[in-house]
Chain A
């Protein structure tokens, strides 16, 4: 049987500007940044791509978001590391947009700037008591157990209570529940930060409640994560059977979504599978549906500390196009706890000199081309400025979602180059990396190039091997910069 040669993939090259290389700066080194870099390097053979990140370590949420007990999900780091090692690409860590260098300066230095810095803040519940001690955002808790330098001082109190309430039922909520409930012997051989492992080993938390405003059909988690949390050894699972009742509207939703259908099936099975009561000393996971938080309750004995959540029962109401929202019914109940983790969504942080849609938490754009203002006018485009990832789409999706997101943004960029939209800037050479490094040097910014990250990587792996862990993360800025700078 004949075998044909593999066909070369077509790519466009832009010889009109090849007299000097296309210089691109990508802000953010998570999946959005790296997939964008990879695509640009492949599509534009003369391009030089710099990726800056305010942390000394690359990879964004792959390093600081993916749970320690999900090592396979982090395999994509190998692919990103090959991109960083490309001769036309440079990773520059410890360079913060708005602090080390401004957006205006970057646009001077590069032909194209792509913002891919994700979402480092949280949606706020907006109810009384949110400032009580013991109420944390899941994002910060995840940073804490993943050893992010900004998470190490969180110091959550896991010893004052046996009950944790998590608001939200997405995959981050499930991650947090799982880390709180898994036997610590299983966590001890992961890359979890050691300060978190110690705290979890001393934790008195035995019951976790996952609270969602809507029902099991609307739960935002996906099958793999749900299956995993339901399969934790010796864990009592509680789901109220009455919550599993479905309406025609629910059936319609499930008919249109394979994900929701399979999640609902898993929850149904789990509701009837196990024993009806926990055995003595057994850890418990409760799925609470149709409850929205009304306010956080303050402890009588410990002023300023949370002691529970006042919840309102909800019912679902259709708002057209198959969507249902939660409406309060005026019936309330209390759920006692000593710690609350809010997992209701991340939110992007705006940067100076850029329009920002506060409602959606994104930079206004059309297919990745940043718009000059919030008006939504698709013709008022900021030339040479693009966006990718959560900052473009909002904080949803998986790592792979950024693959397609980067494809779209780079397609817009390529189209703009081809049509001469960027001719006014691409006509001229730009200083790019050399110019950036010069300015940063003048400002005494200690840039961490990829080779320095490799030193950190090697040291973390070495420290990990002493404790039967894949790595022991360095969690302070000082330690990271010290190892980065050492020989």
Chain B
């Protein structure tokens, strides 16, 4: 199961306009821990092409539909754009606030986390 599917199963609002077919960047997530980011397989060209277009791209950004749950990802924390954003754009561009999700090993169910502000 991908993180996008897991989010929807748990009623977490992660957008998925193209329904996981690598034709958009709306399921963009940030892997909060470099150690976990490195455990993931490198993104293929097609994923990188979509990441080019993602808002608030970082060094550890990935598409949620391309991260597949596995035991070694237990405890991974993904920052996703929060559904009710405080849309205060002070500078140029868009500054999303993110919600942190913690994953458990027994099911790719998403646990609650704290609302955090990450600059754009």
Give A residues with C-beta under 8 Å from B. Answer: 1-7, 9-11, 43, 70, 72-73, 75-76, 78-79, 222-224, 227, 258-259, 262, 367, 398-400, 403-404, 407-408, 411
Contacts and interface: CB of A to CB of B under 8 A. Distances in A.
6 nearest A-B pairs in the assembled complex, by CB-CB distance: A72-B21, A72-B23, A224-B49, A76-B17, A4-B112, A223-B49
B10 interface: yes
B112 A400 contact: no
B67 interface: no
Interface residues of B, number: 41
A6 B10 contact: yes
B57 interface: yes
B17 A399 contact: yes
B84 to A, nearest CB: 5
Given A398-B24, A399-B24, A400-B25, A224 B46 contact: yes
Contacts of A223: 45, 48-49, 52
Contacts of A398: 24, 53
Nearest to B10: A6
Interface in B1-44: 10-13, 15, 17-19, 21-26
A43 B84 CA distance: 9
12 contacts: A6-B10, A6-B110, A9-B84, A72-B19, A73-B24, A76-B18, A223-B49, A227-B49, A259-B53, A400-B25, A403-B15, A407-B85
Nearest to A408: B87
Nearest to A398: B53
B2 to A, nearest CB: 15
B55 A4 contact: no
Looking at chain B's contact residues, the main secondary structure is: loop
A79 B18 CA distance: 9
A404 B94 contact: yes
A11 B84 CA distance: 7
Given A9-B82, A70-B23, 16 more contacts: A3-B107, A3-B111, A5-B112, A6-B11, A6-B110, A6-B112, A7-B112, A9-B83, A75-B17, A75-B21, A224-B50, A367-B89, A398-B24, A400-B15, A400-B17, A400-B55
Contacts, number: 90
A222 B87 contact: no
Given A7-B112, A11-B84, A72 B18 contact: yes
A3 B109 contact: yes
Interface string B77-91: 000001111010100
A404 B111 CA distance: 26
Contact of A1 (B25, B45, B49, B105): B105
A325 to B, nearest CB: 20
Q: Which of B17, B99, B104, B106 has the most CB of A within 10 A?
A: B17
A384 B49 CA distance: 39
A404 B17 CA distance: 13
A72 B109 contact: no
A3 B104 CA distance: 7
Contacts of B23: 70, 72-73, 75
Contacts of B52: 222-223, 258-259, 262
Nearest to B23: A72
Contacts of A227: 45, 49
A258 B54 CA distance: 11
A75 B49 contact: no
Contacts of A2: 104, 111
A1 B73 CA distance: 14
A79 B24 CA distance: 14
A10 B15 CA distance: 17
Contacts of B106: 1, 3
Nearest to B88: A411
A70 B112 CA distance: 36
A78 B17 CA distance: 9
B55 to A, nearest CB: 6
A400 B24 CA distance: 7
